[in-house]
């Protein structure tokens, strides 16, 4: 199912770029950031913003923000206003906290005693309420309801001893980490530098890419070309379209300083003893683009393995394997390959329907989400279908599709879900429907097949998901010294109710 | 490849609806037409228009037209202006002849001696120049450069003997057919009736659907529910999303009168002796949505058979079969099934890139169309890929994709094209690049693999295409008396240079 | 009162320009036309259009039209599309006949046997219904409900004998005049020429201006500079803002051919014996801009004389003379001067209120039109005001103003109206409220002062108006041979019910 | 001359409204504020904003802001979002400090320890730079470059002793006054109350109006109707259009608390010993709408007196007195009355020209601002004109008008300016052209008549202006105990260079 339908949404994507040289650079920084953000559009479609800097000691920051898709916000005319720069950061957003107004759009820019800073943030602070009170007590009027403004004000604060000196960014960021444990992937722009930070649990993703004069993606044998600049992004999928190559993931707790020619780790803040990493497992299941790389593995491959595992956990006697286009296709192909059944297409997406401005009339309400699809009935008439979905969250979208397939001639429809049921809220940056809305918490969950009109419905187990994610790590085939660091934990709170930190932190 | 990239474009889609009752009807006619047009959006994305009628003897026609996608042109507010009606026709358009202005948008409405008529047209008149001169001599000032205005003026003309009588529509339409042999699928709305007409060669498609109170698609055993109205559409794919069921195709030369309760053939105009049907074969290859039905077969199935045939005609030693998403997927699955190789995905489409308003910068120009895709490199690293495309028209889009795959680790890339090369212009409603732009007419065509950077390139033969289209017809498995009528010809002019009529008609 | 409030509206303005030279000319023709239309904006605020021609024998016509004010329709970007030209015509419009859609916007362009023509029309055909039928019988489908399309189709018709020859425009225009006696001021563009035509009764205005390299307005002694081109306009007020000087009025029935270097009368069509001119007297009273010149006199001066006359016809014992800004100011100054009372301002217009998009709430409905004004109470507190208005049409706007003035301290308010009451419809191009809406036809008219809340109300007599218009003509002080031609008639049909032609013509 | 042309601009208008009752109130508060802002549109045309509150103890604040005119920003749809409220404040703005972005639009809203506050500000802080540094040192990151954000943050600060108590607004506002002496008229909304504050010098205006069920403006004898609510506005001119009646001016240094049923003075902060009021004298000359009341006198009357005074100071032998429409008309009428010459109109404004989006072409650049006017030449041909202007700031707009009049037949043109020359910058909220741009500081000022092409040019003296402003105050005719408070000073800094406070405060 599509993210819009499920009610689950990622909240943000961040993207930064710094050119290897002074303005005017060969690299068109606002362009690169715009296209980088387009590559992160699936992480936030509500608003977008870019702030650029000319990199001088008293820099001019240029800002453009707007409601809507990146492509609508950044036209050629708007980009021209940002041109005189050699670095910048951008943001694309859904609202998790903070309502949907331009005012809440990131990046945030504030003037501090040491000049302007711009901050872009992906994540959500588990202890936001306490922090908010603390800042208000200090006499700071907060203009927005967003966690990110709080982070910005925390970073803006200059300790008395430092006021006439240069700012100590490692100290400020460490202070932020002391105030708030999780969850943030941050880009902080100051003068000619971008600081890139992941929280100590590594809950939200962040990675670095290198811009070279000739793009040669993923080929490490080839002699690398000259570096033209650096990019930093929530997901590596945004690198290919700008001709950048994947450099490396930023580690949990790591503070990286990216300047014109260097990428340097300033410090890596450890977690409390005994706690493990808590990278959001739903990035694999749901949010990330399939060509993105986390923990040295391609998201698509993890989804394919989930499908394979599901075939083992929940085999069924059937004729064909298929899926609801498009996000569950890797799992469906994995399932089909594992159980030896043919993969066929049963639905054909009408890509124009989703954007209809008009209200559904009576006829359409009966059909529900099925109106988005054409049926390829000759492919399944009289057959038993295993229909793979990547998740069933509220359970209101798969039902009309099953009905549609049956009315169009399917003999049986067996639903297999390539992730476990969601039962708990997230406080770290994911918008999940209320507990009451989640199908797994409803009484109907007990007789789900009947409720959905399917012949059978089986979810992947939590253990199955976790082992699909970690399978290759265990075998160490991709290890390069970094993997071992990663391989000690994922956040599965929305599935299990076990949160990485105490919620009343 | 995407239609936008290939330079080949369908020009139009037409859609009509008539409710089984007087206004106010239970059926929301403007809504149904809008959603019908959304289902035909792939046939024309430049402008859209709807005209509705209240069906009285001196009817009020209400019109709304606009540039852009159907969803943008028809908002709730705009639809409200059309509401008081029980029938209407709509149109979605690319410009083949007639430039891109609102003025050229269809349907055209003119007042005639017998009241208003509205006309929606898909197709292009081969003898437009002569006809134009003829109308001007008659003293009619023509306001647009469109063929469709000429058709409208031809239909508006009332012969002297008929001026104080009721209009004889069969005579008028027959007169039109005498003046212009090909190509048109027409909807003509007058008072409370829609006349639906296909030219005698059946070059452009047109079919009828039935709206019932409970949608039960394609299930002919089930007792049909009460009829709520009739729809008529360029393609049957638009029926499902409005809860209509496929009724039948309008035959070449057939004049059908659709009124509140009946669908009646008024006449069927024969072709000249010896000539055969000339349904555009590129509707199968390229334009139509895969779930549409022509000549009693699903377009998807024909494409799948093309892939199978291609596997026979052009086998190659390889590891995996894949495609450039999304239109060649059926052919790729057919190819893979036939030759026994696994089907894998190698590219992941970034659906937001295509709509970027900003100019490509230097970096992107190097990557060309590849910027639209992420690579799923773990799926093909070190492997030999058979890459299926549905057509290679100008040859400028596949090349960077091949390069991208090779740079990302593909060992070999063998291109297989599921249709023959295009070499000739179309004068019947398809926008084809100029002869000089067509790769098949260029010197480079002789060493195409080297030119494209592929290890090999093979097109499907014309014979292969035709037999894939007609395979099942021969076996008669779907025959119901109509098939035999269809099965005597397709227009392959753009592939062979053999046109269905003399061009200097 | 403002035109918008009174319910009386002029329907159109026309403007043409032709540069003295080939493209590229020094003169920017689309610019000149746009500014000319801005000068005619008060004559039509619903839509605007321009068609330009490159003046070749097979010319390219470029068109841009849009809904809204001239300034919104013609941006720099839109004008660029029209640039390659050395002549063009434009139109600004209210709908009298023909509804408010882009389709009805003028100028109309049609292709004829002798190439394209563009037509811009101010006026309305009294015999439209008959003419329409005639054209439909001829087999012409009419796309709009506008009289102007009929005129265009009449002009497009090429008589059989002329089909392979050059078109005879005088014959065609004469034929039009035979078909339709009144009312039209027309601009017809064909190839490199503009034909400017007034109907034989001269009902609507039309005049010619000359563009010179250095503008020296109205100074006839000065040696004239070199001619850069010609302009033709509904009103001379549009000349000053483009640096053109008034040349002369086009006479009733005159057919003028304007080409690059010459302005030539081709013919002047006489009226039937005994009939007089019928220039619309409401152009003086209401529609025209005060700085326009008709029949060799400035509109402002005529209005001033109406005020003077009114002071004689309807003197009253009072302290100050004032007006509702802005259109009745000349009459108020004339009244004040004649009766020797001081002229003061009592209201101050809030120029932003009129454009409010929001609905009036309860409070504002009570205040009515008075919400548009601030009161200058210190100017009239305790005083008796003579309040001059230019017309009272429906009587719903002056009443709240009188109330406002009284509440703000006025001792007495005596309303004096500088034109007679309107009682009859117009069929020649003016939109007048229905007979029932006109206050002069209502029972309340008998006790108008009480109804309006005024201490007294007097209208100017028809005789007073006519003599104010003709006063100077009689004395012949402005005569230059043309005046005598004019000075034999004005259309006063809306005041008297006497129409210049039989209505069932 | 028009404000846009002179380069002098007011920066802001503020407007607040509170209904006498709980939501849902009879009074439509967002509507009233919108129309109030429309009445202040002349004070700021760049952006507009409204914040409403439901008046509860933990209130919901609803905000809408946008770039452009009030009417464009506040459509019915936008207002609906603000509806659930019984009080609110609004702002309309030009940028003096702070650039022109939505982010800088007011009112500003921040959350404080005691809940949200909204602040609307007219004015500019003379000591902004120092204050800014002070706030940054405190660790507050400032998001905008606007003085108003600083005021908001200063007000947001809760002293430690007060943190768990109710906020002491008098103390906070007093603290603000201690930090910043001038210039501000402020509206502060908190919970169910609006605090209205003028700086101790009274530099910017602010007054209160009362909404009654039946509007009966300025009539103090009449028994007042029931109070429906209170409004507070920069100018009283905005009261009439919403049916409110003028209540009183807020005094310099006064802190007024406006709640549902009461208007209460909390405190009045005195100026330092010896200093006088400093109400901006240019509000009278230029900014305010003529129907506004300051210091108990109508602005129109002051301007009329300036004209009278000018007739005494600078008499000239002439035939007629006139003006450039529209702002100098009161002065022209005063001049004409005093010297006994007739007042005539010589120019007729084309109200559509000003908004043309297209660039002036060559022709228009020669005509300059004269393109905005039509000439009423019959009114002045052969005559000597005294042309009254309200100010000549840069001297680039009057010159082409003089030329135009002379070319159209004026025998002489004597310019009389109803205010003294501007020579110095303003730091209190007025945007004045740079010193170099001011005509009074240029060498050409010595031979101004020749430079402008006039026969003579005379400005009003500073003494003349001041005495025109204070004339009636002296006579005490309007005194009601308040006048004496006002009548001890006006800020004439831009004319004299004498500022009300030290600039390095």
Tell me, letter by letter, the H, E, C secondary structure of C36-74: HHHCCHHHCCCEEEEEEECCCCCCCEEEEEEECCHHHHC
Instruction: Judge if A307 and A268 occupy the same domain.
Output: no
Which residues on neighbouring strands pair with residue C63, listed in sequence order? C51
Rounded mean pLDDT of B317-323?
Answer: 97
Rounded mean pLDDT of B124-141?
Answer: 89
Locate the chain A residue with the closest alpha carbon to D140.
A140
Chains touching C (at least 3 CB pairs under 8 A) are B, D
Residue numbers of D between 238 and 257 with CB closer than 8 Å to C: 240-243
Q: Is a pLDDT exceeding 50 seen at residue A73?
A: yes
Is A280 among the annotated ligand-binding positions?
A: yes
- Long-range Cβ contacts of D157-166 (<8 Å, 24+ apart): D157/A139, D157/A141, D157/D112, D158/A136, D158/A137, D158/A139, D158/D112, D158/D113, D158/D114, D163/A137, D163/D113, D166/D114
Q: Which of D63, D112, D139 sits opposite A158 (nearest CB)?
A: D139
Residue B287 located in a structural domain = no
Among A203-217, C470-484, D18-32, D260-274, which is the least confidently predicted range? Answer: C470-484
Q: What is the mean pLDDT of chain C?
A: 86
Return the pLDDT at D452.
Answer: 93
CB A460 within 8 A of CB A282: no
Tell me the C-alpha to C-alpha distance, in Å, between residue C382 and each of C49, C320, C403, C405, D218. 51, 11, 14, 11, 13
Q: What secondary structure letter does DSSP report for C145?
A: S
Q: Which of D364, D372, D375 sits opposite C291 (nearest CB)?
A: D375
Locate the chain B residue with the closest alpha carbon to C104.
B103
Helix (H, G, I), strand (E, B) or coil at D172: helix
Helix (DSSP H) and strand (DSSP E) numbers for chain D: 17, 25
Helix (H, G, I), strand (E, B) or coil at B64: strand
Q: What percent of chain C has pLDDT above 90?
A: 55
Tell me the C-alpha to C-alpha distance, in Å, between residue D245 and each of B226, D237, D240. 66, 10, 7
Instruction: Judge if B129 and B269 occupy the same domain.
Output: yes
pLDDT (tens digit per residue) in C231-266: 999 999 999 888 899 999 999 999 999 999 899 999
Instruction: Judge if A11 and A115 occupy the same domain.
Output: yes
Instruction: Give how many domains chain D has, as a whole number.
Output: 2
The phi and psi torsions of B3 (rounded to 5 degrees) equal: -55, -40
Return the pLDDT at D298.
Answer: 95
D157 neighbourhood in chain A, CB within 8 Å:
139, 141
Instruction: Judge if D133 and D228 occupy the same domain.
Output: yes
CATH number, domain of A185, equals 3.60.20.10
Instruction: Judge if D224 and D358 occupy the same domain.
Output: no
Instruction: Judge if B212 and B347 occupy the same domain.
Output: no
Among A227-231, D204-208, D210-214, which is the least confidently predicted range? Answer: D210-214
CB–CB of C136 and B113 under 8 A?
yes
Residue C112 located in a structural domain = yes
Local confidence band at C95 (pLDDT 50, 70, 90 cut-offs): low
Q: What is the mean pLDDT of chain D?
A: 86
Q: Which of B41, B375, B404 sits opposite A352 (nearest CB)?
A: B41
D142 neighbourhood in chain A, CB within 8 Å:
110-111
Rounded mean pLDDT of C444-470?
Answer: 95
pLDDT (tens digit per residue) in B33-78: 999 999 999 998 889 999 999 998 889 999 999 888 898 899 888 8
Residue-number span of the structural domain to which A123 is assigned: 3-275
CB C8 within 8 A of CB C422: yes
Local confidence band at B486 (pLDDT 50, 70, 90 cut-offs): very low
Rounded mean pLDDT of B189-193?
Answer: 94
Residue D468 located in a structural domain = no
d(CA D371, CA C217): 12
The catalytic residue among A12, A85, A105, A207 is A12
Chains touching D (at least 3 CB pairs under 8 A) are A, C
Residue D305 located in a structural domain = yes
Return the pLDDT at B76.
Answer: 84
CA angle B47, B51, B55 (to 5 degrees): 165
Instruction: Judge if C246 and C329 occupy the same domain.
Output: no
Which residues on neighbouring strands pair with residue A456, listed in sequence order? A414
CATH number, domain of C328, equals 3.40.50.2020
Instruction: Judge if A219 and A350 occupy the same domain.
Output: no
DSSP-derived secondary structure for A193-257: EEEEEE-TT--S--EEEEEESS--TT-SSSPP--EEEEEEES-THHHHTTTEEEEEEPPTTEEEE
Which tops the pLDDT comparison, C36 or B325? C36
d(CA C264, CA C482): 16
Residue C44 located in a structural domain = yes
Residue numbers of D between 258 and 287 with CB closer than 8 Å to C: none
Q: Which of B70, B350, B409 sits opposite A241 (nearest CB)?
A: B350
Pairing between β-strand A347-349 and β-strand A320-323 as defined by DSSP bridges: unpaired
- Whole-prediction pTM value? 0.84
Is D237 among the annotated ligand-binding positions?
A: no
Tell me the C-alpha to C-alpha distance, in Å, between residue D261 and each of D196, D210, D225, D264. 15, 11, 14, 10
Local confidence band at C39 (pLDDT 50, 70, 90 cut-offs): very high
Among B246-250, B465-469, C59-63, C471-475, which is the least confidently predicted range? Answer: C471-475
Q: Which residue has the tokens 């009947």?
A: A450
Pairing between β-strand A61-67 and β-strand D263-268 as defined by DSSP bridges: unpaired
Instruction: Judge if A252 and A347 occupy the same domain.
Output: no
Which tops the pLDDT comparison, B277 or C98? B277
Instruction: Judge if D260 and D314 occupy the same domain.
Output: no
Give yes or no: A207 in active site: no
Q: C373 at the D interface (CB within 8 A)?
A: yes
C219 neighbourhood in chain D, CB within 8 Å:
407-409
Q: D364 at the C interface (CB within 8 A)?
A: yes
Q: Is a pLDDT exceeding 50 seen at residue D1?
A: no
Pairing between β-strand A384-389 and β-strand A373-375 as defined by DSSP bridges: unpaired
Residue D290 located in a structural domain = no
Residue C29 located in a structural domain = yes
Residue numbers of D between 318 and 347 with CB closer than 8 Å to C: 329-330, 333, 337, 342-345
Is B348 among the annotated ligand-binding positions?
A: no
CB A233 within 8 A of CB A33: no
CA C423 to chain centre: 20
Instruction: Judge if A172 and A71 occupy the same domain.
Output: yes
List b or e across B438-454, with b for residues whose CB sees 16 or more CB atoms inside 10 angstroms. Answer: bbbeeeebeebeebbbb
Q: Is a pLDDT exceeding 50 seen at residue C398?
A: yes
Rounded mean pLDDT of B81-106?
Answer: 81
Is B390 among the annotated ligand-binding positions?
A: yes
Which residues on neighbouring strands pair with residue B90, listed in sequence order? B15, B50
Instruction: Judge if D81 and D167 occupy the same domain.
Output: yes
CA B348 to chain centre: 27
Q: What secondary structure letter does DSSP report for B485?
A: H
Which residues on neighbouring strands pair with residue C12, listed in sequence order? C93
Q: Is a pLDDT exceeding 60 seen at residue D365?
A: no
d(CA C445, CA C434): 16
Q: C165 at the B interface (CB within 8 A)?
A: no
Q: B378 at the A interface (CB within 8 A)?
A: yes
Residue A190 located in a structural domain = yes
- Determine the residue among B97, B110, B140 to mutate to test chain C binding: the one whose Cβ has the most chain C Cβ atoms within 10 Å: B140
Rounded mean pLDDT of D395-409?
Answer: 89
């Amino acid at each position: 199912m599509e993210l819009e339908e499920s009610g689950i949404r990622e909240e943000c994507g961040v993207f930064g770029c710094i050119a290897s040289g002074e303005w005017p650079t060969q690299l068109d920084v606002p362009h690169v950031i715009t296209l980088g953000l387009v590559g992160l559009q699936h992480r936030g479609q509500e608003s977008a913003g870019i702030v650029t800097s000319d990199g001088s000691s008293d820099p001019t920051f240029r800002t453009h923000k707007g409601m809507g898709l990146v492509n609508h916000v950044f036209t050629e005319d708007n980009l021209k206003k940002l041109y005189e720069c050699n670095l910048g950061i951008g943001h694309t957003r859904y609202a998790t906290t903070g309502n949907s107004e331009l005012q809440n759009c990131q990046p945030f820019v504030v003037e501090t005693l040491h000049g302007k800073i711009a901050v872009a943030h992906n994540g959500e602070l588990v202890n936001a309420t306490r922090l908010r009170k603390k800042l208000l007590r200090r006499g700071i009027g907060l203009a927005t309801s967003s966690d990110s403004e709080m982070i910005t004000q925390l970073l803006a604060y200059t300790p008395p001893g430092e006021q006439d000196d240069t700012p100590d960014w490692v100290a400020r960021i460490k202070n932020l980490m002391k105030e708030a444990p999780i969850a943030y992937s941050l880009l902080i722009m100051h003068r000619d530098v971008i600081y890139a930070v992941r929280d100590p649990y590594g809950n939200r993703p962040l990675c670095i890419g290198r811009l070279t004069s000739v793009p040669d993606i993923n080929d490490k044998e080839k002699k690398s070309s000259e570096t033209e600049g650096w990019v930093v992004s929530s997901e590596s999928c945004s690198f290919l379209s700008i001709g950048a190559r994947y450099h490396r993931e930023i580690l949990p707790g790591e503070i990286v300083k990216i300047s014109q020619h260097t990428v340097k780790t300033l410090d890596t803040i450890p977690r409390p003893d005994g706690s493990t990493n808590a990278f959001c497992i739903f990035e694999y299941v749901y949010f990330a683009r399939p060509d993105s790389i986390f923990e040295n593995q391609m998201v698509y491959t993890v989804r394919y393995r989930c499908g394979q595992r599901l075939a083992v956990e929940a085999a069924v006697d059937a004729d064909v394997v298929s899926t609801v286009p498009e996000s569950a296709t890797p799992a469906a192909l994995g399932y089909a390959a594992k159980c030896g059944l043919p993969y066929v297409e049963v639905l054909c997406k009408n890509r124009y329907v989703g954007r209809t401005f008009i209200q559904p009339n009576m006829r359409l309400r009966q059909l529900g989400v099925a109106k988005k699809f054409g049926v390829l009935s000759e492919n399944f008439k009289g057959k038993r279908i295993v229909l793979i979905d990547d998740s069933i969250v509220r359970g209101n979208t798969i039902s009309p599709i099953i009905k549609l397939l049956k009315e169009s001639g399917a003999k049986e429809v067996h639903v297999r879900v390539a992730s476990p049921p969601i039962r708990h809220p997230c406080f770290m940056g994911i918008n999940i429907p209320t507990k009451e809305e989640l199908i797994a918490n409803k009484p109907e969950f007990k007789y789900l097949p009947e409720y959905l009109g399917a012949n059978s419905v089986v979810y992947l187990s939590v253990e199955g998901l976790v082992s699909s994610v970690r399978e290759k790590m265990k075998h160490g085939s991709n290890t390069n010294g970094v993997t071992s660091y990663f391989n000690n934990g994922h956040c599965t709170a929305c599935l299990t109710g076990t949160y990485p930190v105490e919620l009343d932190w």
